[in-house]
Every structure is written in C-alpha cells, then in structure tokens.
Amino acid sequence: MIDTGVAAVPRLAGRLRGGGDYLAGGDGLDDCDGHGTDVALLLAGAADGTGIGAGMAPGAGLVSLRQSSARFAVRDDDGTERPAGEIRTLAAAVDRAVALGASVINVSEVVCVPADRLDDVAAPLRTAVAAARRADVLVVAAAGNLDPAGTCTGDPGLRPLPALYDAVLAVGAVDGDDRPAPFSVAGPWVDVAAPGVGLPAPAGPEGAVVSGTSYAAPLVAGTAALVRERFPMLTAGQVADRLRATARRPGAGRDDRVGDGVLDPSAALSAEPLLLVPGPGGPTAGGTAGGPGTPQGATAPLPAPTPRPPDLPAVAGIGAVAAAGGALAAVLAGLRRRTGGARRFLSS
C-alpha cells in the first residue's frame, strides 16, 4: 500500500505493519487524510461486527508506506504550494515495497506529466516499476481522475504515472452498471476497470461515499492477491494477463476507458485453463505472459513456483477465494443502499 498512510483500525488488526513514512518520518501507520485507510479497507478489510463490509482479500497482510498527502504542502521553486508527494519518493516507495517482500503493490495515486518530460522527470519511477516486475511483483495503479485544477486536466499531451507503464496494471473506474466513469482518465494504457463511483467509504461516517479510480484499484489489487495465493506458480505478468482475460469485455471490444473490461473476481479465480492471455476475440490459453496464445484448451508449460516472500503474513486462505465475487457484489450492494450519502472526491 503506497498512499497517504493506513491507520491501525480494528478491521486490519494483526495484518497491518508499517513500511515507512516519506512525509514526516515514522512507520507509515498515520493517515490524516483518510484516503489510504479507505483504500486499505476496500482491499483487505475484515467484515464489521454485523458480518458485512469485507474488502476483496480480507485475510491479506498489508504493509503501509505513506508517500503522499493533501494535508501536507511542499513549496515549488516559484513559491506556489501543492500537496506533498514526489515522483522521486514514489519510486523510492516502490523499491522499498519490493525489498519488504510485497507480492502486489497498490498505488492509488497518479501524477500526469507532459509526454516530452517522461524521460527526465519520470526516469526514477520507470526504473523502479521495471525492477518490481523483474522481482515478480505486480504493481496495480489507478488510471487517474480528470481534474481541471489538478495534474490530470484532460490535456492530450499529458501522461498518467505510474499507470502509463507496461509493467503496471492500470485500473479505470466504472459505476455500478459497468458504465465508464466520466472522470476516469482514458488511454491505451488502461488495462481493466472496477467499480469506483459512489462506493461506501469504509473509514468514513455512516452514509459517506467515495468516488475515484483510487477506489477501483484496490478491488483489482485484492483480487490479484487472491489469485497469487491460489495459483502461486503464476508470475506477476501471468496474474495480470489472467485478470485482463477474465474481465467482462465491452461489447465493441477493447476500450480505452475500461481496457479489456470490468474486473470479474470469480472468473479470475476459477476460469480454465490456468494460463490465459487476453485477445480481441476473448481469452485464449497461453504460455508465458505477453507471449503468443495457443489454441483454446492446449496445454502450456507452467513457470517454476515462486517462493513466498519472508516475513509477510499469508494472504486470505482459499476459503476466502469463493467469497471474492461476493465481496464485489457487496460493494455494489452498499453503493445502492447509500446513494443518498455525502460524497467525497479525492485526487485519484
């Protein structure tokens, strides 16, 4: 979890540890924005006292790195102030998450930069993301929100980071009826989409809802954590391919707003054959991530098993796999129950 920090709330008890704080020093378990805590609960929160409200992977172990905040400000060279969070520290947080043994990294933040500045401004982040993929770590990132006053203004010359990179699984947002959210940044880099409109705010007051690609990303990351446990022999790239191949495809084919389709957790955890790659006509059996497909039903060699990183709690048991589709349904049910609540929009 690279975000605004994650508070040590009861629904994460025993599964949350700090990885560091790039804003104020510390362990990453302070969250004065509330954003990171909401994202963490959508990803891995346990059910509340009534047995509802579980996140996508309610047994996953989480490591929190606080790297951004709307409550902290930094001053640019021209004297203007902006919320804290730098590409340089985001790159450092990705590197640290890999070093701490994460198998999935969720980045529910984005910065849009001019395309002609990618080689200089974004070089450290590009290097960190590439290193994560080489280490067999899956990076899941929000596609970003259109915001005339922010960095993602809709200017076609801007590119969202880290969502832009091929080694990142970029997530757009849809509403409860799978319609693309009007604020979700579109582009050929978008891989999949997930619900991100009017979701119940897990750490907020009763009736509060949140919207943004920030909140779609953890639903995908949580599903990825379950897939990585159920199929530990799959590489990070093969997990990403499986999520894309099993997504509910747009009727007209791939779409820059939702990528290959809308997340389908049940299909991701149960579809056969094991190795799938997305394609224009639907998923096909495949060998290695990004490699050519083979005829449906063909047998493909499996990669060597990936050992579990040391010193991390195990993610949710296989019993939780069957509940993953229900978790997404519960999110949508909560959306429909709470549509009259206060609305909170955040940067991504």
pLDDT at 317: 35
CA angle centred on 179, ends 248 and 274, rounded to 5°? 15
- Candidate list 103, 214, 347, 348, residue with the active-site label: 214
Distance CA 26, CA 294 (A): 50
Give me the pLDDT at residue 279, please.
Answer: 82
Catalytic annotation on 136?
Answer: no
First to last CA, the chain: 14
Residue found under tokens 């894309």: 244
Q: Is 147 helix (H, G, I), strand (E, B) or coil?
A: coil
Q: Reduce the DSSP state of residue 320 to 3 states and report it.
A: helix
Q: Dig out the tokens for 235 from the structure.
A: 């590489």
Determine whether 76 is an active site residue: no
Where would I find the beta strands (DSSP E) of 188-318? 192-195, 199-200, 209-211, 276-277, 284-286, 293-294
Helix (H) or strand (E) holding 124: helix 123-134
Give the whole-angstrom CA distance, residue 119 versus residue 87: 13
Total residue count of the chain as it appears in this document: 348
From 35, 64, 184, 264, active-site residue: 35
Q: How far apart are CA 217 and CA 43, in angstroms?
A: 9
Q: Which residues of 176-207 are buried (b: 16+ CB within 10 A; e: fewer)?
A: beeebbebbbbbebbbbbbbbbbbbbbbbeee
User: Could you tell me the sign of the dihedral formed by the alpha carbons of 41, 46, 138, 22, in that order?
Assistant: positive
- pTM summary value: 0.84
Q: Does domain 2-345 have CATH number 3.40.50.200?
A: yes
* Tens-digit pLDDT string for the chain (348 aa): 999 999 999 999 999 999 999 998 899 999 999 999 999 999 999 998 777 889 999 999 999 999 998 887 666 666 666 667 789 999 999 999 999 999 999 999 999 999 999 999 999 999 999 999 999 999 999 999 999 888 899 999 999 999 999 999 999 999 999 999 999 999 999 999 999 999 999 988 888 999 999 999 999 999 999 999 999 999 999 999 999 999 999 888 899 999 999 999 999 999 999 999 998 777 887 754 333 333 333 334 444 444 444 443 333 333 344 445 445 555 444 433 333 333 333 345
SS3 42: helix
SS3 for 119?
Answer: helix
Q: For residue 205, what pLDDT is reported?
A: 86
**Both tokens of residue 285?**
């059996």
Active site residue 35: yes
What does the domain layout of the chain look like in residue ranges? Answer: 2-345
**How would you list the strands of the sheet with 343-345, edge to edge?**
199-200, 209-211, 343-345
Query: CA 52 to CA 198: how far, in whole Å?
Result: 18
Strands 62-66 and 16-21: parallel
Q: In the structure, how many helices (H) and strands (E) does the chain have?
A: 9, 17
Residue 270 burial class via C-beta count within 10 angstroms: exposed 0-12, middle 13-18, buried 19 and up: middle
* 219-232 CB burial, b ≥16 within 10 A, e <16: bbbbbbbbbbbbbe
pLDDT at residue 81, rounded to an integer? 61
